[in-house]
Amino acid sequence: MKWALAGALVALLALPAVLSSYALTLFILIFFYGFLGQAWNIVGGYAGQLSAGHAAFVGVGGYTAAVLSIELGLTPWIGMLIGGALAAALGAIVGYLGFRFGLRGFYFVLLTVAFAEICRIAVTNIDALGGPLGLYITFTGNPRQFQFQDGRAYYYIALALMLVATATAWAIERQRFGVYLAAIREDETAAEALGVNAFKYKMLAMVVSSFLTGLGGTFYAFYLFSLQPNTLFGIPLSVEIIIRPIVGGAGTLLGPILGSFILTPLAELSRLYLGQGGLHGAHLIAYGVLLIAVVLFLPEGAYPRLVRALARPAGSGR
């Protein structure tokens, strides 16, 4: 397993040398959504707290870095960290309210959705942030401005982001923290009875997750050169963030990445082929069907199933 992963990593590092520019874009999106999924996985998968408003953290991170860069000329490399910190602060507020008041299940989902929507409506109505039209970033191609002439730079940054989030999840999984989170996810009352401070660990998971997601906002903004409240704070982005780890396997280390490798090309190809024929919603119909199928037939996600299939002693046919 270790060698396979190392091999995959080397392959990913060498890949840009042979990729067409379209394939390069596809991989950037795979890594980026894999990264967002992994960041969500920390609170949504490991801790089992289904946040359906993670887009808010992308939005806060992206807008912070963009505004600091446009108004003060601050390099997005620092703005990214500030954006992440502000997203973490928002995550702490939402987490505090939700966990302190014991909101679980559907109620927590709604709280997170409501916060993301409040952010979206607020940003839409703040003229300094560009209102409903949003902000645009002028292209300079200057690496100091988080802009690159060469698409491969974005490839490596997106890959690095995904690896950072995965390393974070790995570190959490290996420590007591990860065990506590799993206990909380499986049975919070029982975990608390055994002395696990559920509030503290859920808060920590939320803050780490929202910080990472906030970092992603900067990438999103400076990769696309534009920020609109509806795309950066909207519920559709939250759904994109959630669906990959769920399909891949929530609460597993490689689930979100596998989910992104399955779903992102599917989404892009159907957008490319079906979208051109005027069928704009077609790829989202496919998403919906997939989501239903996963819940009904593969509730634990693709990754655990894959692991079991591989671990089975070379059975059928070999």
Decide if residue 3 touches another protein (CB under 8 A). Answer: no
Site size for another protein (CB under 8 A): 41
State the helix-helix crossing angle for 76-100 and 55-72, rounded to 10 degrees: 140
For residue 277, what are the contacts with CB-CB under 8 A and spacing of at least 6? Answer: none
Q: Closest distance between another protein and the C-beta of residue 306, in Å?
A: 20
- We find the least distance from the C-beta atom of residue 236 to another protein, in angstroms, to be 8
How far the first Cα of the chain sits from its last, in Å, is 20
Q: Determine, following the binding rule CB under 8 A, whether residue 25 of this chain makes contact with another protein.
A: no
- Tell the smallest beta-carbon distance from residue 11 to another protein (Å): 32
Least CB distance from residue 242 to another protein, whole Å? 8
Distance CA 77, CA 14 (A): 25
- The reply on whether position 284 binds another protein by CB under 8 A is yes
Measured CA to CA, the distance from residue 223 to residue 169 in angstroms comes to 25
Q: What is the DSSP string of 246-289?
A: HHH-TTSSSHHHHHHHHHHHHHHHHHHHHHHTT-TTHHHHHHHH
296 binds another protein (CB under 8 A): yes
CB of 68 to another protein, least distance (A): 25
Say how many residues make up the chain. 318
Residues in 209-238 that interact with another protein by CB under 8 A? 235
d(CA 257, CA 9): 13
Site string for another protein, 115-144 (x = CB under 8 A): x-xx--xx-xx-------------------
Tell me the DSSP string of 27-94.
Answer: HHHHHHHHHHHHHHIIIIIIS----S-THHHHHHHHHHHHHHHHHH---HHHHHHHHHHHHHHHHHHH
Amino acid at site 159? L
CA distance 149 to 140: 9
Reading the block at residue 271, the tokens are: 């957008």
Note whether 272 binds another protein by CB under 8 A: no
Block residue for tokens 């007591």: 176
Q: How far is the CB of 1 from another protein (least distance, A)?
A: 28
Cβ closest to another protein, residue 108 vs residue 220: 108
Q: Which residues of 302-311 are buried (b: 16+ CB within 10 A; e: fewer)?
A: bbbebeeeee
Min dist CB 43 to another protein, Å, is: 13
* 273 belongs to the binding site for another protein (CB under 8 A): no
Find the part of the chain contacting another protein (CB under 8 A) among 46-54, 141-149, 208-216, 258-266.
Answer: 46-54
Give the range of 141-149, 164-172, 200-208, 276-284 binding another protein by CB under 8 A. Answer: 276-284
Instruction: Note whether 101 binds another protein by CB under 8 A.
Output: yes
Residue 5 in the binding site for another protein (CB under 8 A): no
Question: Which amino acid, one-letter code, is at 242?
Answer: I
Window contacting another protein (CB under 8 A); options: 11-19, 220-228, 260-268, 282-290: 282-290
Residue 111 interacts with another protein (CB under 8 A): yes or no: yes
- Is the Cβ of residue 79 or residue 249 nearer to another protein in the bound state? 249
Q: Please report, as ranges, the residues that interact with another protein according to CB under 8 A.
A: 48, 50, 52, 97, 101, 103-107, 109-111, 113-115, 117-118, 121-122, 124-125, 235, 239, 246, 279-282, 284-285, 287-292, 294-296, 299
